[in-house]
Amino acid sequence: MERSGLSGAQPLFVLVVGTPGSGKSFFARQFADSYRFFYVETGRFENIVSTLSSSNKEVIATAKLITDAILDQALRSFKHIILEGPYYSARDREEILSRARKAGFGTLIVWVQTDLETSEYRALNRDRRRVDDKYSLSFSQAEFAQMTRAFQKPNSNKDNLVVVSGKHDFKSQGVIVLKKIAGMYVNGATESVGVTNNSGTTPKRVVTRPVIR
């Protein structure tokens, strides 16, 4: 069965954030598959790099460099993109979103929230039989605590943001995010068309693009 897509003159860039084990990969993978987004999965690169280093810190840093190069190419495609990875600091996230905006994309942060107890269990007990754990790094308790402390919560007053629960199924998550995206397009700018109709007035048309922040 053919999958549905999202229309609109302006492509959308979605950044999925959260603590390790929150369920970022679960959401990002299914959203990309369902709505034809180009999926940039940092975890896939972490898995490849992990064969070259035993240090998770080095693996994460190198994988982010690979992600950066892939993202540069993806932005040139001018198609919807979803990126999931360890972008814990507000500065890192703003740098990524700024690049997307400069490339002409509308931007949205999806924050996957899960209680720390559940997130820690998932991060420390990866099940390689699960598709979303297949490429994820396994962390020690100390590493999990360190990354959790490093995670800076997105600011709803500053960021174009939607929050979903990492313990809900994708159907519930998807409905919340799609409503947010629909609102972005509905609230998009209205442009004048430079043609006068028979009544002597200049009609308006709504441009289907999300609000850029």
- pLDDT by position in tens, the chain (length 213): 334 456 557 899 999 999 999 999 999 999 999 999 999 988 778 777 877 777 888 888 888 888 899 999 999 999 999 999 889 999 999 999 999 999 999 999 999 999 999 999 999 998 888 888 887 888 899 999 999 999 999 998 889 999 999 999 999 999 999 999 999 888 764 433 344 455 555 444 444 455 444
Q: Which domains does the chain have, with CATH numbers?
A: 12-206 (3.40.50.300)
pLDDT of 65: 87
Residues 153, 20: Cα–Cα separation, whole Å: 13
What size, in residues, is the chain? 213
DSSP assignment of 125-152, as one string?
S--TTSTTTSSPPP--HHHHHHHHHHPP
In this predicted structure, what is the pLDDT of residue 6? Answer: 61
Is residue 30 a contact partner of residue 170, using CB atoms and an 8 Å limit? yes
Residues facing 162 on adjacent strands: 110
CA-wise closest residue to 85 among 190, 15, 34: 15
The pTM of this model reads: 0.81
What pLDDT digit, counting tens, does each position of 13-72 carry? 999 999 999 999 999 999 999 999 999 988 778 777 877 777 888 888 888 888 899 999
CB atoms within 10 A of CB 133: 18
Residue 25 to residue 42: CA distance in whole angstroms: 9
| DSSP character string of the chain | -PPP----SS-EEEEEE-STTSSHHHHHHHHHHHHT-EEEEHHHHHHHHTTT-S-HHHHHHHHHHHHHHHHHHHHHHTS-EEEES---SHHHHHHHHHHHHHTT-EEEEEEEE--HHHHHHHHHS--TTSTTTSSPPP--HHHHHHHHHHPPPP-TTTS-EEEEETTS-HHHHHHHHHHHHHHHHHTSPEEE-S---TTS---EEE---PPP-
